[in-house]
Amino acid sequence: MTGRSPVRRAIRILPPEIAARIAAGEVIERPASVVKELVENALDAGASRIRIDIRRGGLHEIRVSDDGCGIPAEELPLAVQRHATSKLPDDDLERIATLGFRGEALPSIATVAELTIASATGDRPAGRQLVLYAGQLLSDEPVAHPPGTTVTVRRLFENVPARLAAARNERAETAEIVRVVHRLAIAAPHVRFTLIIDGRTALATSGTGDLRAVVLEVYGTTLADSLPSIEPCEIAGARLSGLVTAPDVTRSSRNHLHVIVNGRWTQPRTLLALVEAAYRPYLPRGRHPILVVVIETAPELVDVNVHPAKLEVRLRAEREIGQAIGDRLSQILARTPRSLTLEPDVSRLDPLRASVAEAGNPYDDRTEDEIVTPAFPPLRLIGQVANRLILLEAPDSLLLVDQHRAHERVLAERLLEHARVPRHHPVPLPEPVLIDVRPAQRERFQRWLDHLAALGFQCEPFGPRSFVLRTVPALPGLTGDADRPEPLAEREQLAPALLALVDELEQQDSDDWHERCLVQLACRTAVRRGRPLTRPAMRVLIQALGETRAPTVCPHGSPIVLRVNHRLLANQFGW
């Protein structure tokens, strides 16, 4: 495994029966494939520093040098031969602990480019250098080289016009190389990587071995505040750990989902599907987190020989492991409020920000208790802003809570819960609500009465054209005044919302249909934006919100809570 294989074996040609079992394939498709193979070789050689230089998208030149174990002079010619490798210990494809094992990369590169390899080992003063082009040896001479290896690749694909044409877009090739190097660097936090693109340093990692450090080096230190850790744990003989960005930092592609299995960056499909299902409810549609999952397991529990470019591995207990990671992700994402940043994509919040600034809310009620909930740190209620936001103070930040979405979240969870095991008793309405139905609707409504009752809405027929609603699964005390708390936030919404619910329930059309109907109902009956709330009502709402499973995202994936942390304020004010 990377940096953990001190015993170097001699290079030898694989017996034909082993070579035939290796998932062969043209591994060199574009410049980035060259970079990947060369860096993997450097990692397998136990390098602690790897420097990658590329010019013009890698088409002009790719150079990778390392301070690894080097190749003894007498073995160098073997290194560039097909199926020659030093990495398969007992011809045992079941226990592969290195990134390479097929002995194909160097010879494949040498067929499609000019390849110069210079290498020296620590025990001899001089090294040896070979130059090959299109598979032919051009020169072979001694060279001065510090312990380690340097491979230089020029004239890439000059003799393969089709691939050269495909790789013509230098910017796209450079971007792909950067992506590949980022992945390799994240998979090897103990190695110092330098990536130089056309003479300019594009990445420099410190090689401290700390995952968080390398992720910040790759993605920028502005992430520092929004990168919760996945608590390490052990599942099915595998050790799991990792990092994920808070819901306010997302990307539009899945390119930033990094799964590292025994030091190898990979894309295990089943695992990724489970992981995505877990974060989907907490992120806006089409967005993905930056995620690093590190899995360490015995090599025999992993099959790396399933994909020609070694991009996929097969993992024993992949489903179980994916599930475990998914569970942890949803716990983290459900409880991490989005931070308010001053990036362009939140500029649409400007009017709200302005009204926060202007809000002359009395901040004097110091006698009030803090609101203590499982989800949030102790909160002090400041007040309502613009009749739509509840402003709270946490120890290190301000929280802005969208009152409508908060209520919607509470109602949605209560409805879903009620449908399974009623926990909160339905609340009797002081004045029943009359639901008028058209004749065509009457029978339909009647059919769903038991179902509605199970949700906490007890209705009974009332004359030929109406039903009366007597209870609701609501959050009492949100509206009305102290003597006459009103259990319904939006009384006038309820009858139409229940009629719509019955219509939707009739059109059962997917597996999650029932849940979707209830979420709709919650949305229709939740307290509107624009409605003034009393202090006790706000406390009731925040208390209930902090007891939900996912207090920071509404059932549609939009934020409920935004966080303005003190750092941001200090930056903006220049304190």
122-128: list long-range contacts, CB under 8 Å, 24+ apart: 122/69, 122/70, 122/147, 124/72, 124/73, 126/73, 127/70, 127/73, 128/73, 128/76
**Cβ contact 183:265 at 8 Å:** yes
Which of the listed partners (ligand ADP, Mg ion, none) does 45 bind, with a CB threshold of 5 to 8 Å by partner kind?
ligand ADP
Nearer to ligand ADP, 66 or 217 (CB): 66
What letters, b where the CB count within 10 A reaches 16 and e where it falls short, cover 25-43? eebbbbbbbbbbbbbbbbb
| Contact set for Mg ion, span 70-109 (CB under 5 A) | 100, 105
What letters, b where the CB count within 10 A reaches 16 and e where it falls short, cover 473-495? bbbbbbbbeeeebbbbbbbebbb
Antiparallel, parallel or unpaired: β 338-339 and 561-565: parallel
Q: How far is CA 414 from CA 138, 375, 456, 533, in A?
A: 75, 17, 9, 21
Q: Which of 11, 195, 260, 391 binds ligand ADP (CB under 6 A)?
A: 11
Q: Which residues contact 441 (CB under 8 A, 6 or more apart)?
A: 499, 502
Per-position x/- string for 469-498, each x denoting binding to ligand ADP as judged by CB under 6 A, each - no binding? ------------------------------
| Contact set for Mg ion, span 103-122 (CB under 5 A) | 105
Nearer to ligand ADP, 71 or 494 (CB): 71
Query: What 8-state DSSP symbol labels residue 75?
Result: G
Nearer to ligand ADP, 20 or 273 (CB): 20
42 scored as a contact of ligand ADP (CB under 6 A)? yes
Nearer to ligand ADP, 15 or 232 (CB): 15
**Cβ contact 51:42 at 8 Å:** no
Q: CA angle at residue 185 from 77 to 91, to 5 degrees?
A: 45
The full DSSP string for 393-456 is EETTEEEEEEHHHHHHHHHHHHHHHHHHS--SPPEEEEEEEEEE--HHHHHHHHHTHHHHHHHT
Helical H runs in 61-169?
76-79, 105-112, 161-166
33 scored as a contact of Mg ion (CB under 5 A)? no
- Which region among 40-48, 239-247, 318-326, 392-400 touches Mg ion (by CB under 5 A)? 40-48
Q: Which of 85, 323, 330, 458 binds ligand ADP (CB under 6 A)?
A: 85
Which of the listed partners (Mg ion, ligand ADP, none) does 226 bind, with a CB threshold of 5 to 8 Å by partner kind?
none
Nearer to ligand ADP, 37 or 53 (CB): 37
Q: Which residues contact 274 (CB under 8 A, 6 or more apart)?
A: 319, 322, 323, 325, 326
Q: How far is CA 417 from CA 19, 428, 477, 541, in A?
A: 58, 18, 20, 18
d(CA 465, CA 495): 13
27's tokens: 């591994």
User: Least distance from C-beta 17 to ligand ADP, angstroms?
Assistant: 17
| Contact set for ligand ADP, span 130-149 (CB under 6 A) | 149
Size of the site for ligand ADP (CB under 6 A): 23
Q: Which of 45, 278, 398, 526 binds ligand ADP (CB under 6 A)?
A: 45
d(CA 177, CA 30): 9
236's tokens: 């099915």
**Cβ contact 518:525 at 8 Å:** no
Nearer to ligand ADP, 79 or 400 (CB): 79
Q: Which of 53, 67, 104, 114 binds ligand ADP (CB under 6 A)?
A: 104
41 scored as a contact of Mg ion (CB under 5 A)? yes
Which of the listed partners (Mg ion, ligand ADP, none) does 87 bind, with a CB threshold of 5 to 8 Å by partner kind?
ligand ADP
102 scored as a contact of ligand ADP (CB under 6 A)? yes
Q: Which of 86, 152, 266, 397 binds ligand ADP (CB under 6 A)?
A: 86
Per-position x/- string for 154-183, each x denoting binding to ligand ADP as judged by CB under 6 A, each - no binding? ------------------------------
Per-position x/- string for 60-79, each x denoting binding to ligand ADP as judged by CB under 6 A, each - no binding? ------x-xxxx-------x
Three-state DSSP at 545 gives helix
105 scored as a contact of ligand ADP (CB under 6 A)? yes
d(CA 340, CA 564): 5
Rg (CA), the chain: 31
User: Least distance from C-beta 152 to ligand ADP, angstroms?
Assistant: 12
User: Least distance from C-beta 226 to ligand ADP, angstroms?
Assistant: 37
Which residue is nearest to ligand ADP, using beta carbons?
A: 100
Antiparallel, parallel or unpaired: β 257-261 and 291-296: parallel
User: Least distance from C-beta 198 to ligand ADP, angstroms?
Assistant: 23
Q: Which of 31, 57, 100, 127 binds ligand ADP (CB under 6 A)?
A: 100
Size of the site for Mg ion (CB under 5 A): 3
Per-position x/- string for 394-433, each x denoting binding to ligand ADP as judged by CB under 6 A, each - no binding? ----------------------------------------
| Contact set for ligand ADP, span 184-203 (CB under 6 A) | none
User: Least distance from C-beta 338 to Mg ion, angstroms?
Assistant: 43
| Residue with token string 């209870």 | 471
103 scored as a contact of ligand ADP (CB under 6 A)? yes
User: Least distance from C-beta 78 to ligand ADP, angstroms?
Assistant: 7
Positions that interact with ligand ADP (CB under 6 A): 11, 37, 41-42, 45, 66, 68-71, 79, 84-87, 100-106, 149
Positions that interact with Mg ion (CB under 5 A): 41, 100, 105
